[in-house]
Structure 1
Amino acid sequence: MKALRDAELGAFTFFASALPHDVCGSNGLPLTPNSIKILGRFQILKTITHPRLCQYVDISRGKHERLIVVAEHYSRNVGDFRQGQTASSEKVLQIAYEVLEGLEFMNKHGLVHRALSPNNVLMDCKGNVKLAKFGLYHMTDQGADVDFPIGNPSYLAPEVIAQGSFHPSDPSCDEAPLPSGPKTDIWSLGILLFELCAGRRVLQNIEISDKLKFILTLGCMDDIVTVLAEEHGCLEIIKELPENVVELLRKCLTFLPSKRPTPAELLGDPVFDGISCHYTPFQKPVCLFSSSLRCAHLELPDDIGDLCKDDDEDYMSERGIDEVYHLWCLAGGDLEKELINKEIIQSKPSVCTLPKYVLEDGESFGQGRDRSFLLDDTTVTLSLCQLRNRLKDVAGEAYYPLLEDEQSSLPQSNSSNELSATVTLPLIIRERDTEYQLIRIILFDRLLKGYPYKKNLVWKEARVDIPPLVRGLAWAALLGIEGDIQARYDGIDKDTPIPTDRQIEVDIPRCHQYDELLSSPQGHIKFRRVLKAWVVSHPDLVYWQGLDSLCAPFLYLNFNNEALAYACMSAFIPKYLYNFFLKDNSHVIQEYLTVFSQMIGFHDPELSNHLNEIGFIPDLYAIPWFLTMFTHVFPLHKIFHLWDTLLLGSSSFPFCIGVAILQQLRDRLLANGFNECILLFSDLPEIDIERCVRESINLFRWTPKSTTYRQYAQPTKAGGEGIFGKTATYFSSDYQDMAKTDLSREPLTLCDLKAEVSPRISAEDLIDLCELLLGGPPKRNKSGKPKIVAVDIRNVEDFGRGHVSGSINIPFNSVFGPDGELVQCPATGVLQNYRGRVIVIVSHAVKSAALFAAHLVKVNFPRVCILDGGISKLNPTGLLTVPSPQI
């Protein structure tokens, strides 16, 4: 995205054609509104960046099919030359060459301007051409989705005029005319250049019918330039023009399209030999994920001291146009309000909007056609004064943060105390704070430009928050996307029919269709291509319903980059949903749900006991949660906040999210039976996502790594520190990242796993948590008490031969009888003092440990787990403590 520099932000509005309300498509669903279609097609225009084109920034949809487009804008245009003397031949050639540069670049991207006129050929402060509204023809589907013609009739090519007007709803039109090609813009350019040379308008002061007849009669003329000059009394002026300028006009104003050159052909014409040498070919900047080397083009003044002389430097002008517009919206910018203030949008009393009706005798009543639904070509400049005033206290250093500075994560400005306080505010407030977002966007922009070398810093800053404007690239960095993703995506066959096509076609129209972008035809096309690419490139996996919901967040954030959406999705699924999409995934799903059930009992035994008593097991409600990583149950704006943290976590973090959701519904679940719980989850109540994230992190920190071990999880290499920083304790890592040792957890059969209420903890986990290897004390919480306690249920003799340092001995036979009946409750004694800590049950036999743990869970003891393999796992370590004999 190009920098703002001397440009302004401009907005213009128009209406899409309204569709009948009682008509459905071939699939039985209501027709997609034309405004939604236009919104979808518009998105690709934001990626068209060239020095000769005004950058498109955004489009918003309002009431009654109104659309407002925001784009780069300049107050001057070539029409200003007509107000006085004629333009010089050098200026005419310069304008012609720069317009052709823009047209040629558009043509390479499959675009035709079709609305070329003086008002749409803008000039920047240096006098360079900037083509505006070049995407109107494309976004409206060659004018089919609007009620007005695209282009000024005075500048339209003869072949366009000969086709006449067309609208799909008109029953008199059998078929749509062929779309205009690149040569139509050459005629428009010819008329525009002729006006510059003549210093006056042509074809403007006559009736439209006469104007069209005159244009069509030009086909009989050998020299159209001379005929136009005679018609408008400027023959002498034209005769005085240099030969190369007249030759250029003749080539542009060639009546037959077959003989008229294209922009690319005209750019190489000898008429530009004198000025083409002053222009260098445009080179598109290298994108973040590609095989090409990325480097910044730096220009320093001869005297470095000049950099510090200007105290009033406009740092905002160096930021990207999309970034400035995003901040403008945060600072209170309102597009409709701006257009209302300029009287572009005018409200009418309801009585004036009554429809027109005709009586039997032909007498009509009501209003005529509302002229406001036709195109108003006015572009309103959006004032940046409010934004600049809001950011006036931000120091220049904030625009160029030092990445390696320990304080770089804190906003640097004259109001740094206020910004530091902002970090502690709720996320939804931070995302609407203009000054805070500016600091975060700049920091992430610099970090992402240094990716993958700054990957660790991206992770560090993402733990604070991720600015919405850069979320798509930030997620890609967190997922470790690298290399030439576009080449890999292009190499996948997305066109050959496959058996899954039918199911994809059925699922897409039901996936997050409340969102205007994803519900557009372009959104459906992109959905289909990304999903099909994933299915084709993973032949060992199959398409399951829910994969479309999983794709939706990535597609929304990378709507104009299908390759990146596919790459992110392909990296996300193995990490969090490994083997979930096997043809027979029952064993994977059942293991996952069983571990989740144990996690509920581990963190909230009271809730777990109640749900088990009424038979409300995770199989009834949690499969859509985990199969789609909650995208099937939450809207996109909540998923973004949820996944900002999920992507920082390990594959076990979704368990904590699930428990956090249940705890938000805890009171209602405990008060209801099976049927009421089913109804509750059939229409899930509102969930506070920020609270859910906050509680999920806390649950994750209290969950020993090995307790969420799954034998069907993705095997990975050893990982680094915990995702929430070194201060987050050992609980923050992923057990799947650990190398296999003799002290690791052993896989269990699904039957044995389901038989145990409490999860198992590995010996290496217990050792690390107690810090026995370092000879230190057990890890402690903020209150100074140990976070873990080992409960040894062997008999006194075995306990005396060796036990975990600091463990408590409660013999199993003192609690349970020979037949396993309960003799006394261990919770009534010494364990009450340890409630809330992680309780590890240690025994010779895991079966007795499981029975002991199950009882603790039944009496609502949280954080109870079993030592996997029993005490025998610790015997070879030499870490067991033998009490000293008493003298």
Structure 2
Amino acid sequence: MRPLRDAQLGAFTFFASALPHDVCGSNGLPLTPNSIKILGRFQLLKTITHPRLCQYVDITRGKHERLVVVAEHYESSLNDFQKLGATVLQIAYETLEGLEFMNKHGMVHRALNAQNVLMDGKGRVKLAKFGLYHMTDHGADVDFPIGYPSYLAPEVIAQGPAHHSDTSQGDNPLPSGPKTDVWSLGVLLFELCTVSSLTQPSRALMIDRSLTCLCFFPLGCIDDIVTVLAEEHGFTITLDSFGLPPPTPADLLADPVFEGVSCLYTLYQQPVGLFSSSLRCAHLELPEDIGQLCKDDDEDYLGERSIDEVYHLWCLAGGDLEKELTNKEIIQSKPPVCTLPNFLLEDGESFGQGRDRSFLLDDTTVTLSLCQLKNVRGPLGLLDLIQSSLSQSNSSNELSCTVNLPLIIRERDTEYQLIRIILFDRLLKAYPYKKNHVWKEARVDIPPLVRGLAWAALLGVEGDIQAKYDAIDKDTSIPTDRQIEVDIPRCHQYDELLSSPQGHRKFRRVLKAWVVSHPELVYWQGLDSLCAPFLWLNFNNEALAYACMSAFIPKYLYNFFLKDNSHVIQEYLTVFSQMIAFHDPELSNHLNEIGFIPDLYAIPWFLTMFTHVFPLHKIFHLWDTLLLGNSSFPFCIGVAILQQLRDRLLANGFNECILLFSDLPEIDIERCVRESISLFCWTPKSATYRQHAQPPKAQADRSASCFGKTATHYSSDYQDMPKTDLSREPLALRDLKAEVSPRISAEDLIDLCELSAGGQTKKSKAGKPKILAVDIRSIEDFGRGHISGSVNIPYSTAFSADGELAQCPATGTLQSFRGRVIVVIGHSMKSAFATHLVKVNYPRVATLDGGINKMKHTGLLTVPSPQI
């Protein structure tokens, strides 16, 4: 969106038509409220940006089908054109520019009048309320007519109003075309020509110039008036053109009468988007003196921020649309008894009231005061805050106290969000050059206002995504269409945007584009839920929603959507079971004893990456972190969810657990994210190895550590690491299921146990090594060579007759390392020892893939010196 500059934010309200409550659609579902339909159509208006049109910003839905629209606004209108020094010819040209741009987007104004042709501080035309006709489906979804009778073309009045109850195509009036706006503009210009306040010479000159333009407008009904007016002022005009077919705005702009006007304006060019083949800086011109780029102290920094950004901050600063409209008496509350249609007395006599006129259109626009926003930190505090933010390139010193607050509080803090928005705006404009910095700042948090673009950057979306999306056939029928049609009306339909007809249409197009462009994969139920977050964030950019979804699935759900995905799902669930045992053996043991396996509850979790079980607002916070992790991070999220339900799961049996997961209790997402990161940092990379994961990429992106310095080791997928003799070997699914604890590779063991250059073992903050290697070979074999720092607990003597660990110094060391990673090492895979440790509730137990044989050729084994 363009900057606010000298504009203001304005709000107006109206009611959508109410639908009967006892009527269902052809699919058996209740009819979509008209207010929801209007809300869905409105979203397109936010993308219509032109210097001659007031920018639409937002729409909110209230009670009783009330809608409140927020848009760019100016106090001056066409009634003030003389004060601003504008000419009729200039107004005609600029208005036609706006109308032509609307026509290119398939829209017409239909509500032109003097109050809806606004004028900015420079006397330029800004058309307001141009989207009312579009968002109401040509007036079918409201009980009032769109347009003003004095300015409507005769054919529009003859058609009558549109009625939503009409079911046949023939009963509905045809939508108005561009020529209806030409009529309205002609009437407006004629009114301007007859302004009585003008002096006689000025009036004659203005009429002379204006009627030359007016002769092209279909004003046949006022031919005589025009003729009399021309004769009265002593000039002649040819009205032969009145008999021609009415022109369109594009036709009129090409007329020679505007040659002198058009040269004053540069051709408007649509801004280049972030993901495009065009250069975003192609027209950038730097001054000779770079110092001129610095703003003056009295610069209105708030005016340089985009309109949607200012409105977002206004809301965070306590802005309330309904309160603003109520204060101006646009919204008037009434006691419920006064809203009854009539009163019936005992004798049958009734006293009724007329139609409540508050449900008709009141086109008054209320200006939203920005004083509260500007005074966030004092009289000029906000402007100072913006200026200081523009001079900084990182967030290390910005509101350090706020960073430590819960995320939900940070997202509602006006000052904090302003700084984060400015920072991300700068980084995203430099994407992909600043991709690493985007990753770095995303680890702190992602501002909701820029979440869609930030996610695309984290997923590595680049190039001309629109051209790729347009090239996909989304219209030809395919067998999947029926299933998509069934799934969409059940997908996040509590959300007003996704439940709108426009939302359903976009759902179908994006899902179908994905199915068509991935012929090796198929549509599985749940793909719609996976699409929902991307579509919500990029509702007006289907191409970006599709591109993000196409980048997300291979990274986290590789081959999940094969026609036969059983082997992929089973391997995934088995690894998840091992992760539960690795991090919470007590819970794992209990769930296994009652037979409550992940197959019964976790498939919807991972097939939809939790979008099927959580509402969108929680998914946004969850995925902000998920996108920073590799393909193993969802395992940690799953374990974190189970740990929040731990007490209830441990106290219940199989049936109670089934009921618990049929209606999942409230999950604290911020706690879930925090614990997931901790689990992720404690999990060796190779422990989550899957042979059905995404193959290694040509060049793994290891440029950014996921969650800070403590997780640098885990920032990239294990599958992306170059394979060596020390890497994990693929394991048959049957053998994988037989093991309770995960395996780790010799590479991970070396990395976690490796001595530094000074010969010191890596230690945790508590002062002990993060990992303990337990060698279960015999004493003799251990003496021939072992890993430095490992302890020897021979498997043959490890357990007593009652199955408990035998007491010895080594088992004492093992007990002291409880809670750290314990890697069991043998000649081969002796998983029984690791299985026993899990059964006695030892957490973080793993086994070395390939046993000690993997380490023999590394030269890292230690042979103890002989005793003298």
TM-score when normalising by structure 1: 0.91
C-alpha distance in 1 between matches for 2:661 and 2:174: 53
1:778 positional shift: 2.8
For 1:110, the equivalent position in structure 2 comes to 106
C-alpha distance in 2 between matches for 1:791 and 1:441: 50
For 1:683, the equivalent position in structure 2 comes to 663
1:227 positional shift: 2.6
For 1:206, the equivalent position in structure 2 comes to none
Aligned residue runs from structure 1 range 385-404, under 5 A = 385-391=371-377, 392-394=380-382, 396=384, 398-399=386-387, 401=389
For 1:193, the equivalent position in structure 2 comes to 189
For 1:798, the equivalent position in structure 2 comes to 781
For 2:116, the equivalent position in structure 1 comes to 120
1:312 positional shift: 2.5
> For residues 728-753 of structure 1, what are the alpha-carbon distances to aligned partners after superposition, in whole Å with 9 as ceiling and x for unaligned?
35244421121111000001111000
**Paired residue for 1:295, among 281, 294, 299?**
281
SS at structure 2 position matched to 1:259: coil
SS at structure 1 position matched to 2:497: helix
C-alpha distance in 1 between matches for 2:364 and 2:539: 29
For 2:540, the equivalent position in structure 1 comes to 560
For 1:212, the equivalent position in structure 2 comes to none
C-alpha distance in 1 between matches for 2:781 and 2:235: 109
Kept in 1, the 8 Å contact 2:390–2:422? The answer is no
C-alpha distance in 2 between matches for 1:613 and 1:284: 63
Kept in 2, the 8 Å contact 1:289–1:483? The answer is yes
**Paired residue for 2:579, among 559, 574, 599?**
599
C-alpha distance in 2 between matches for 1:747 and 1:834: 30
For 1:692, the equivalent position in structure 2 comes to 672
1:99 positional shift: 0.2
**Paired residue for 1:259, among 225, 245, 248?**
245
For 1:344, the equivalent position in structure 2 comes to 330
C-alpha distance in 2 between matches for 1:146 and 1:835: 68
SS at structure 1 position matched to 2:772: strand
C-alpha distance in 2 between matches for 1:92 and 1:463: 55
> Given the alignment of the two structures, is residue 331 of structure 1 paired with residue 311 of structure 2, yes or no?
no
Aligned residue runs from structure 1 range 13-162, under 5 A = 13-81=13-81, 91-162=87-158
C-alpha distance in 2 between matches for 1:130 and 1:329: 25
Shift of the 395–784 alpha-carbon distance from structure 1 to 2, 3 Å rule, reads farther
Aligned residue runs from structure 1 range 656-675, under 5 A = 656-675=636-655
C-alpha distance in 2 between matches for 1:825 and 1:160: 95
For 2:749, the equivalent position in structure 1 comes to 766
1:359 positional shift: 10
1:770 positional shift: 1.4
Kept in 1, the 8 Å contact 2:78–2:115? The answer is yes
C-alpha distance in 1 between matches for 2:449 and 2:219: 56
SS at structure 1 position matched to 2:364: coil
For 1:722, the equivalent position in structure 2 comes to 705
Task: Single out whichever of 708-717 and 679-688 deviates more from structure 2.
Answer: 708-717
Aligned residue runs from structure 1 range 562-641, under 5 A = 562-641=542-621
Gaps of 5+ in 2: 198-214
C-alpha distance in 2 between matches for 1:467 and 1:334: 21
SS at structure 2 position matched to 1:517: coil
1:396 positional shift: 4.3
Shift of the 729–105 alpha-carbon distance from structure 1 to 2, 3 Å rule, reads closer
C-alpha distance in 2 between matches for 1:223 and 1:756: 89
Aligned residues: 844
C-alpha distance in 2 between matches for 1:784 and 1:551: 46
Shift of the 533–73 alpha-carbon distance from structure 1 to 2, 3 Å rule, reads same
C-alpha distance in 1 between matches for 2:812 and 2:291: 76
C-alpha distance in 1 between matches for 2:400 and 2:309: 22
1:303 positional shift: 7.3
1:237 positional shift: 6.8
C-alpha distance in 1 between matches for 2:81 and 2:294: 38
> For residues 58-90 of structure 1, what are the alpha-carbon distances to aligned partners after superposition, in whole Å with 9 as ceiling and x for unaligned?
0000000000000000000002358x9xx99x7
For 2:208, the equivalent position in structure 1 comes to none
> Given the alignment of the two structures, is residue 268 of structure 1 paired with residue 249 of structure 2, yes or no?
no
Gaps of 5+ in 1: 202-217, 413-418
One-letter amino acid of the counterpart of residue 135, structure 1: G
Kept in 2, the 8 Å contact 1:223–1:250? The answer is no
For 1:321, the equivalent position in structure 2 comes to 307
Kept in 2, the 8 Å contact 1:778–1:787? The answer is no
**Paired residue for 2:357, among 371, 374, 399?**
371
For 2:867, the equivalent position in structure 1 comes to 886
Aligned residues: CA RMSD? 2.6
Kept in 1, the 8 Å contact 2:183–2:219? The answer is no
One-letter amino acid of the counterpart of residue 303, structure 2: S
Kept in 2, the 8 Å contact 1:198–1:237? The answer is no
C-alpha distance in 1 between matches for 2:551 and 2:484: 21
1:158 positional shift: 1.1
SS at structure 2 position matched to 1:379: strand
Kept in 1, the 8 Å contact 2:300–2:383? The answer is no
> Given the alignment of the two structures, is residue 746 of structure 1 paired with residue 729 of structure 2, yes or no?
yes
Kept in 2, the 8 Å contact 1:411–1:439? The answer is no
C-alpha distance in 1 between matches for 2:550 and 2:39: 27
> For residues 233-266 of structure 1, what are the alpha-carbon distances to aligned partners after superposition, in whole Å with 9 as ceiling and x for unaligned?
xx447854987xx67x996xx5x7x711100000
Kept in 1, the 8 Å contact 2:691–2:730? The answer is yes
For 1:872, the equivalent position in structure 2 comes to 853
1:481 positional shift: 0.3
**Paired residue for 2:739, among 756, 763, 769?**
756
> Given the alignment of the two structures, is residue 431 of structure 1 paired with residue 415 of structure 2, yes or no?
no
Task: Single out whichever of 269-278 and 71-80 deviates more from structure 2.
Answer: 269-278
1:433 positional shift: 0.2
> Given the alignment of the two structures, is residue 178 of structure 1 paired with residue 159 of structure 2, yes or no?
no
Q: Give the share of equivalent positions with the same residue, in percent.
A: 79
1:49 positional shift: 0.2
One-letter amino acid of the counterpart of residue 90, structure 2: Q
C-alpha distance in 1 between matches for 2:313 and 2:276: 29
For 2:207, the equivalent position in structure 1 comes to none
> Given the alignment of the two structures, is residue 509 of structure 1 paired with residue 489 of structure 2, yes or no?
yes
For 1:832, the equivalent position in structure 2 comes to 815
C-alpha distance in 1 between matches for 2:332 and 2:181: 33
C-alpha distance in 1 between matches for 2:639 and 2:504: 34
C-alpha distance in 2 between matches for 1:592 and 1:223: 75
> Given the alignment of the two structures, is residue 812 of structure 1 paired with residue 812 of structure 2, yes or no?
no
Kept in 2, the 8 Å contact 1:224–1:250? The answer is no
SS at structure 2 position matched to 1:278: coil
1:166 positional shift: 2.6
SS at structure 2 position matched to 1:69: strand
Shift of the 770–188 alpha-carbon distance from structure 1 to 2, 3 Å rule, reads same
Kept in 2, the 8 Å contact 1:78–1:119? The answer is yes
SS at structure 2 position matched to 1:876: coil
SS at structure 2 position matched to 1:14: strand
SS at structure 2 position matched to 1:390: coil
TM-score when normalising by structure 2: 0.93
1:771 positional shift: 2.1
